[in-house]
Homo-oligomer: A and B are copies of this chain.
């Protein structure tokens, strides 16, 4: 299913060829200045891309270049076209959330490179959370990011033809969607050679998942939603590894999975990754109780993010009612629309829970795991954290109606976290 997209002049950059790359682009050269004194590092720790940091006296930049295969599995080809989707996503959303993404300086469609500002002193949020660092501005920032990106590309804001025209730019990002369809919605629920889990402790839970028909139907319904519902232009991979933070700043990166899909998929990705971090905390404690304050903070963070998102999304809807959905000229009585907003957001909330549940299961039983759990050295300790989190992930998919609001979800997370697991 891999595309044959490979521009004629594509070749992977190396530390030694970066200088030449910069000199060929007037735009990038202007930012960097004198290329004789640049310092270049390759820092890509992901599976998919080369990432170079370039520092000159004048400035510092980040050059991201996709590889035509998945780094850990060279026999897994992966379209280079994904950098186009990433650049298009950033271009589209920069109208409303430019301050929450890195500045793009250049997109080179031959080398497939995106050259952007080097963020500093930002770190990958997942690392910060694993270390128990709190980010007081994060709820405010990420709720703005989600509310604006999801609202401004939906039928609530756009005319129907505008949305479909925008969708045409992303609709063929099918190779990256396929990764999600397989790795999130399918493989963890059956035998697949790429699946892994903390064995032998979680062997029994893995079997239970494979035999849980309600769960398999629930995840299949989510998969269909993912494949058919073109609500908004999504990031497509909005976990805490795709977010860089400093004490006072938040930047969303890596939107190469961008596509038109259900809003709850982005929101769910974030909620899932925060919940997984919560459940992983016991495994990172040096002394029992070390992370008590942090655990409380991160659960409150989830509540705050959802509430702020809900609030901001509704406000945008009030402020910009010009989309083709719910035409405002049809509703003299504004209370009617207010009530419908509650219903609409409840649906997004339900979707978010379901997708979050699916994201949890895939990170514990699928191919790609999170370091939140993986960095817990003792396998039994890790399995205990993962087991509890999995129980929540299953409930979120099969019984999302039980969690009428975000506080109900958090109460259940606390309850499951406090239960004993005996292996």
Which of A14-22, A169-177, A397-405 forms contacts with chain B? A169-177
Which of A33-41, A111-119, A224-232, A302-310 forms contacts with chain B? A224-232
Does chain B have a CB within 8 A of A167?
A: yes
A173: nearest chain-B partner, CB-CB: B164
Which chain B residues border A326 with CB–CB below 8 Å? 220, 224
Does chain B have a CB within 8 A of A181?
A: yes
With A217-B336, A228-B230, A327-B186 as given contacts, are A164 and B172 in contact (CB-CB < 8 Å)?
yes
Which chain B residues border A213 with CB–CB below 8 Å? 331, 333, 336
The CA-CA distance from A175 to B331 in the complex, in Å, is 24
Please encode chain A, from 177 to 193, with 1 for each CB lying within 8 Å of some chain B CB and 0 for all others.
11001000010011000
Which chain B residues border A178 with CB–CB below 8 Å? 160-161
The CA-CA distance from A175 to B189 in the complex, in Å, is 42
Q: B174 and A165: CB pair below 8 A?
A: yes
Within 8 A of B (CB), among A305-344: 324-327, 329-331, 333, 336, 340
Please encode chain A, from 143 to 170, with 1 for each CB lying within 8 Å of some chain B CB and 0 for all others.
0000000000001000111011101100
Interface centre among A171, A213, A330 (most CB of B within 10 A): A330
Prevailing SS type, chain A contact patch: helix
Q: B227 and A190: CB pair below 8 A?
A: no
Q: B181 and A324: CB pair below 8 A?
A: yes
Which chain B residues border A175 with CB–CB below 8 Å? 161
With A160-B174, A160-B178, A228-B231 as given contacts, are A330 and B155 in contact (CB-CB < 8 Å)?
no
Does chain B have a CB within 8 A of A216?
A: yes
Number of copies: 2
Nearest Cβ in chain B — how far from A306, in angstroms? Answer: 22
Which chain B residues border A165 with CB–CB below 8 Å? 172, 174
Please encode chain A, from 223 to 244, with 1 for each CB lying within 8 Å of some chain B CB and 0 for all others.
1100111110000000000000
> What count of chain A residues pass the 8 Å CB interface test?
41
Please encode chain A, from 266 to 290, with 1 for each CB lying within 8 Å of some chain B CB and 0 for all others.
0000000000000000000000000
Does chain B have a CB within 8 A of A1?
A: yes
User: Could you say which of B168, B331, B340 contacts A172, with CB atoms under 8 Å apart?
Assistant: B168
A343: nearest chain-B partner, CB-CB: B217
Which chain B residues border A155 with CB–CB below 8 Å? 224, 227-228
Q: A330 and B216: CB pair below 8 A?
A: yes
Which chain B residues border A228 with CB–CB below 8 Å? 155, 229-231
Nearest Cβ in chain B — how far from A164, in angstroms? Answer: 5
The CA-CA distance from A177 to B159 in the complex, in Å, is 12
Which chain B residues border A174 with CB–CB below 8 Å? 160-161, 164-165
A259: nearest chain-B partner, CB-CB: B164
User: Could you say which of B172, B181, B230, B325 contacts A220, with CB atoms under 8 Å apart?
Assistant: B325
The CA-CA distance from A164 to B164 in the complex, in Å, is 13
Which chain B residues border A1 with CB–CB below 8 Å? 159, 161
Interface centre among A155, A159, A327 (most CB of B within 10 A): A327
A327: nearest chain-B partner, CB-CB: B186
For the A-B complex with A160-B174, A190-B329, A220-B340 known, give 14 more contacts whose Cβ atoms are closer than 8 Å. A155-B224, A160-B178, A161-B174, A164-B177, A167-B171, A181-B324, A186-B327, A189-B330, A190-B330, A216-B330, A223-B325, A224-B325, A224-B326, A227-B325
27 CB-based A-B contacts, threshold 8 Å = A1-B161, A155-B224, A155-B227, A160-B227, A161-B174, A161-B175, A163-B227, A164-B171, A164-B172, A164-B177, A167-B171, A190-B329, A213-B333, A213-B336, A216-B331, A216-B336, A217-B340, A220-B325, A220-B326, A220-B330, A223-B324, A223-B325, A224-B325, A227-B324, A227-B325, A229-B229, A230-B230
